[in-house]
Structure 1
Amino acid sequence: MKAARGLMMMGLLCFGLNGFSQTAKPITKSVMDNGKAVYLSRCLACHQVDGGGVPRLNAPLDGASAVIAADKAKLIRIVLKGYSDRVEIDGEYYSNNMAPHADLNNQQIADVLTYIRNSWSNKASAVTAAEVKALRAKLK
């Protein structure tokens, strides 16, 4: 009985340590600075300086559930492929097209999406260049 309890405790300890080792890394100032630079050159005109977008035309990025969602693949796909359908975000509809930005490298896309997901009122996990690279390969 003691052996079984010991094995169970070892299993819980290992599981717990494994869970702690997968915590998110802090987002660095350089990632935010690089992301902001991309945002200012590629996103600002449509999504505005405050991330508020333009009513009924360009979707807001600040406070949008789709921006801070756990599924980062949708955002990465939109940056890579663009978007031309009417979109509903948090009960509002937007109808402008978004051009693809596949010419940005994986790190630039990761940085700008991390910036967007952590600016204004947004707080979400970082996007990594590896995530962008993996999705870019799938979309080819």
Structure 2
Amino acid sequence: MKKLIIVLICLIGADFSGSAQNRPAGKQFKAGTSPAKQGLSILQMNNGKKVYDLYCQACHQADGNGVPRLNPPLSGTVYVNGSKTRLIDIVLKGLSDPIEINGEEYNNPMAAHDFLTDQQIADVLTFVRNSFGNKSGPVSVEEVKKQRAKK
């Protein structure tokens, strides 16, 4: 029974310790500030991490640092921390043009991920914008719907 409980806790990513170092990846909230005060939802962050692990991690890596000259990093870039609409468009439409990030050029095309739901895109972008050292605001389902309608 004890093993079953431990497995269930690991599967749902529960954190009963309250300490920042024991939090699952993605819960990089400002010390002393609740996620809600930052406009972030733990559920959205956890769901975003699941989408990231499934569709993004292979190229952008578990640490968000990407692969040099192949797949760009997601940490500390204007593409992640800047315009939400540009970031949403990259997920919806993909990216085939070379881009320069932090002085390095990346040429590997990114496929469109428009098969993801608006909620999944909002979740994964909120996760990315608040993980890997990033501390940007959340992306809402409404923002994704608005960009998808422009497609």
TM-score (norm 1): 0.79
What SS is found at the alignment partner of 2:124? helix
Counterpart AA for 2:59: C
Q: Structure 1 stretches of 5 or more lacking a match?
A: 1-23
1:75 aligns with 2:84: no
Q: Which residue of 2 aligns with 1:128?
A: 140
TM-score (norm 2): 0.74
109-118 vs 86-95, which moves further: 86-95
- Larger radius of gyration, structure 1 or 2? 1
Q: Which residue of 2 aligns with 1:50?
A: 63
- Seq. identity, %: 55
More helix per residue: 1
Partner Cα distance (1:62, 1:36) in 2: 15
What SS is found at the alignment partner of 2:105? strand
Counterpart AA for 2:87: L
1:118 to 124, 130, 137: 130
Partner Cα distance (1:49, 1:117) in 2: 14
1:37 to 46, 50, 62: 50
Q: How many residues align?
A: 115
Q: Structure 2 stretches of 5 or more lacking a match?
A: 1-36
